[in-house]
Amino acid sequence: MVRLSLAAFIALAASLATAVVPNSPRFDLSKPSYDLFRHKTLHDDTVQQSFAFDNTNRRLFVAQRRNGASPESGDLCITQLDFSGKQLGYMHLSGFGHGVSFGAQADGSATYLWTEVDANSKGYGKRLARFKFGSGTTLSSTSGKDKLQKFTPVPDATEHTCSIDPVHNRLVVRYNLSGKDKGKYISVYSLTDAIKGNFSSPLANFKQPLPKTQGENFQGYTAYGRYLYLLWGDSYDASGRKVNSELASVDLNTGKVVQGPLITKAGSTLEFREPEGLAVYKTADGQVRLFLGFASGKAGDRRSNLFYKNVTVA
Ligand SMILES: *[C@@H]1O[C@H](CO)[C@@H](O)[C@H](O)[C@H]1NC(C)=O
Ligand SMILES: *[C@@H]1O[C@H](CO)[C@@H](O)[C@H](O)[C@H]1NC(C)=O
Ligand SMILES: *[C@@H]1O[C@H](CO)[C@@H](O)[C@H](O)[C@H]1NC(C)=O
């Protein structure tokens, strides 16, 4: 195998990324959001971090830090909910990561989750994992290959997270580089290649844009077709912080922002209201939705809230 230097890898990936993602509709972020549900409890009590849909089996999963776990432990809880927000099951993960984003993928009637794994000293996952969701079970990051596949899409990255475009069957990866090329990058792969551990031909690979935002925290990302969606913002706090949640779309073929950052007021009346996660879902009727998640409620009794946008432009 030829081992490329980091600079050569980025140059090669950048050349491969030239206009290879086919065109698709784009969500209009200026249009209103609708409620899926508000104020739903998860299995554990902490803030939700992100969520994912198994679009084939029509299942919803929400990630949060496990009760009592330190941020550095990487211990997560994944709750399965129905689309009215009722709990259907949960799974505990030990030593995985922070949970800023993850994906779900059908394999027959089973759901496989794609998450970060091998939490580093700050609690962020160094690699990606793929494993079968098993309600009521606990999976450790040290489990064997029969239970847990691990991947390193970008060998030099110190951190990997992912999301899935369930309509176009793509794995969207956000990774962190240090040194000369330091920063957060986005790369996109066919899920069929990714399952085989083949990350040699990214459909896109670029440095994530860092537009000026009103909030401090990056809170989630996903993609639908040609466009990537990014979410930022902070929880309300005692100082009376105002709505600062913002969304932007980015063209995967240019790496440039197309719309936004635009303020979203979805769930603006929620208590606490921390933006937490983005995901795409296509309904049985064929309506494609960009979902936005928010944590709400009091410490020790945080709640899950999901909203969606569904107006696209050609
Ligand atoms: C990301 O890389 C930066 C250096 O660019 C480093 O300081 C930071 O700790 C890394 N973060 C993670 C979570 O690996
Ligand atoms: C990896 O995926 C690319 C793109 O789909 C394909 O062209 C290539 O043959 C694959 N490599 C292997 C070893 O399967
Ligand atoms: C978006 O969803 C709302 C609420 O479910 C619905 O009334 C509206 O018709 C949908 N719009 C589109 C373009 O699908």
The tens digit of pLDDT for each residue in 269-285 reads 999 999 999 999 999 99
d(CA 175, ligand 1 centre) in Å: 10
Nearest residue to 9 (alpha-carbon basis) of 125, 156, 151: 156
Question: Does any domain span residue 217?
Answer: yes
The tens digit of pLDDT for each residue in 78-132 reads 999 999 999 999 999 999 999 999 999 999 999 999 999 999 999 999 999 999 9
Question: Does any domain span residue 1?
Answer: no
Nearest residue to 21 (alpha-carbon basis) of 178, 150, 149, 187: 187
Q: Which two tokens stand for residue 93?
A: 């993960």
User: Which residue would you say has higher pLDDT here, 8 or 196?
Assistant: 196
Q: Which two tokens stand for residue 65?
A: 């830090």
> Which atom of ligand 3 is the closest one to the Cα of 312?
13
Q: What is the mean pLDDT of residues 257-266?
A: 98
Tally of domains within the chain = 1
Question: Does any domain span residue 304?
Answer: yes
Does the pLDDT of residue 242 top 90, yes or no? no
CA distances (Å), origin 135, targets 77, 104, 224: 11, 14, 28
Q: Whose CA is nearest to atom 11 of ligand 2?
A: 198
Q: Whose CA is nearest to atom 14 of ligand 2?
A: 198
Q: What is the mean pLDDT of residues 295-310?
A: 97
Per the structure, the complete domain to which residue 210 belongs is given by 6-313
Please give the pLDDT value at position 254.
Answer: 97
Q: Which residues sit with their C-beta closer than 6 Å to ligand 1? A: 120, 122, 124, 158-159, 176, 178, 182
Query: How many angstroms separate the first and last alpha carbons of the chain?
Result: 42
Report the range of poorest mean pLDDT among 4-8, 170-174, 220-224. Answer: 4-8
Ligand 3 contacts CB of residue 8 (under 6 A): no
Nearest residue to 50 (alpha-carbon basis) of 275, 261, 256, 228: 275
Question: Does any domain span residue 45?
Answer: yes
Strand ranges of the sheet holding 138-140, from the earlier edge strand across to the other edge: 48-54, 59-65, 76-81, 87-94, 138-140
**Distance between CA 124 and CA 185 in Å, rounded?**
15
- Burial, 258: exposed, middle or buried (Cβ in 10 Å; 0-12, 13-18, 19+)? middle
**Distance between CA 213 and CA 167 in Å, rounded?**
29
- What 3-state class would DSSP assign to 195? helix
User: 253 and 265 in contact (C-beta within 8 Å)?
Assistant: no
Q: Whose CA is nearest to atom 6 of ligand 2?
A: 201
> Which atom of ligand 1 is the closest one to the Cα of 122?
13
| CATH number, domain with residue 232 | 2.115.10
Percentage, residues of the chain above pLDDT 70: 93
Q: Where are the alpha helices (DSSP H) in the chain?
A: 6-16, 191-195
Please give the pLDDT value at position 2.
Answer: 47
Task: With cut-offs at 50, 70 and 90, classify the pLDDT of residue 13.
Answer: low
- What 3-state class would DSSP assign to 6? helix
Ligand nearest to C-alpha 198: 2
Question: Tokens 């089973």 — which residue?
Answer: 110
